[in-house]
Chains A and B, each alone.
Chain A
């Protein structure tokens, strides 16, 4: 399994701050390092195989599953996690819309969905329902049935267009 193999010392840039990682096993995923070494527990660990999207983060502005990123290979790349979505106590518009539409039940999938939806709405500000469903197809939610999550995305889209007009 590569026991005893290390990735050497490396630096990660997470939410604008630099972290030095040492004494790490070669096979550690970015998700593991975020949670277990940096104490950033927002990104959730559920499947460790890219199926559930609960660990979604942005890496150099690209949405990825952090469980499928070798942590040492994130060196020099800008990582943004769910912890960067709110501005202090001020929730983001997507977070507010999740609350307003009741898109949260157990909450385990919520961080991954929020990261995914922020990314999606940045590239597609006025999506239709089928585009929303395809965009969140990599984020599993076993509680809601997705209806209110889709509504939340639509609500953000409407609020943003009203704000901008």
Chain B
């Protein structure tokens, strides 16, 4: 049989152990485009989108555990959107209602596109990915999972089981630049998340490097100039902050944008996100 439908994670482990060259099909929104255009060689396919365990999520304590086949739609709307608002914002910018009904968070990660819209948010939040095979289970940080342009570090017999996403106690933003508002692949994107209790700010960028990246230096710099009690940020440091964010990007010229426009817009997004979260102080 060249096509199989996995019934459980246990079953999926076995099917992959039997023949690790089998490819996994979740929402199909990337996979089927490649099949339709004959860009993907399919010799064996396992559909994983009926596995109940992978379609569930739960909130426990200070994090949510999201099954890899949870769709963009479920993250965009409903209770998850209140727990992880930036992830919901990013979900809403992906494709169209049809795409969001089918595409999954696990697929967004495994595809590992530089423009994968959930990736900057998950990076900024410090999410961890639970990866499984018949022989072992392991946890990966997002930057350990995504190692290059459309390259992930999963071995052939492994699959993404779930993603653990911290629930933070402060405002979050996801912003994206594209030629129009719908059905658009990011020219640039930026996620900014905060935790007021822990005095934490996380910033990550999409579409401006081989894989989405953190802006560590900008995070450290701006955290020195935030007053967490009044949620204000010093006005005279914004330019420096914007410069540090731009410096953390290493964009290329391609058919979607020039590198200089990407650098410019990522600075604009950084300033905009910062001023949506914090008021200007002295």
Residues of A within 8 A of B (CB): 1-2, 5-8, 26-27, 29, 48-51, 53, 56, 62-65, 67-70, 72-73, 75, 116, 120, 134-135, 137-139
Ranked 4 nearest A-B pairs via Cβ: A138-B96, A137-B182, A2-B42, A48-B36
Establish whether residues A63 and B45, one from each chain, have CB atoms under 8 Å apart when the complex forms: no
Establish whether residues B42 and A63, one from each chain, have CB atoms under 8 Å apart when the complex forms: no
Establish whether residues B98 and A50, one from each chain, have CB atoms under 8 Å apart when the complex forms: yes
Establish whether residues B35 and A27, one from each chain, have CB atoms under 8 Å apart when the complex forms: yes
CB-defined contacts of B98 to chain A, threshold 8 Å: 50, 53, 56, 63-65, 68, 116, 138
CB-defined contacts of B45 to chain A, threshold 8 Å: 26, 70
Nearest-Cβ distance from residue A46 to partner chain B, whole angstroms? 12
- Give the docked Cα–Cα distance between A6 and B3 (Å): 7
Establish whether residues A70 and B47, one from each chain, have CB atoms under 8 Å apart when the complex forms: yes
User: What is the 8 Å Cβ interface bit string for chain B, positions 174-188, against chain A (1 contact, 0 not)?
Assistant: 000000011100000
CB-defined contacts of B182 to chain A, threshold 8 Å: 134, 137-138
Establish whether residues A5 and B43, one from each chain, have CB atoms under 8 Å apart when the complex forms: yes
* Known A73-B25, A116-B97, A138-B182: A8·B32 in contact at CB below 8 Å: no
Nearest-Cβ distance from residue B268 to partner chain A, whole angstroms? 24
Establish whether residues B44 and A138, one from each chain, have CB atoms under 8 Å apart when the complex forms: no
Establish whether residues B99 and A138, one from each chain, have CB atoms under 8 Å apart when the complex forms: yes
CB-defined contacts of B5 to chain A, threshold 8 Å: 73, 75
Nearest A residue to B102 via CB reads A64
**Is the CB of B49 closer than 8 A to any CB of chain A?**
yes
CB-defined contacts of B2 to chain A, threshold 8 Å: 2, 5-8, 26
**Is the CB of B33 closer than 8 A to any CB of chain A?**
yes
Establish whether residues A2 and B1, one from each chain, have CB atoms under 8 Å apart when the complex forms: no
* Known A7-B2, A70-B32: A27·B97 in contact at CB below 8 Å: no
- Give the docked Cα–Cα distance between A1 and B41 (Å): 4
Nearest-Cβ distance from residue A134 to partner chain B, whole angstroms? 7
**Is the CB of B148 closer than 8 A to any CB of chain A?**
no
Establish whether residues B102 and A68, one from each chain, have CB atoms under 8 Å apart when the complex forms: yes
Nearest B residue to A139 via CB reads B96
Q: Which residue of A51, A75, A137 has the most chain B CB atoms within 10 A of its CB atom?
A: A137
Nearest-Cβ distance from residue A58 to partner chain B, whole angstroms? 10
Establish whether residues B42 and A137, one from each chain, have CB atoms under 8 Å apart when the complex forms: no
- Give the docked Cα–Cα distance between A7 and B3 (Å): 5
Establish whether residues B35 and A70, one from each chain, have CB atoms under 8 Å apart when the complex forms: yes
Nearest-Cβ distance from residue A21 to partner chain B, whole angstroms? 12
- Give the docked Cα–Cα distance between A137 and B95 (Å): 9
Establish whether residues B44 and A64, one from each chain, have CB atoms under 8 Å apart when the complex forms: no
- Give the docked Cα–Cα distance between A90 and B8 (Å): 44
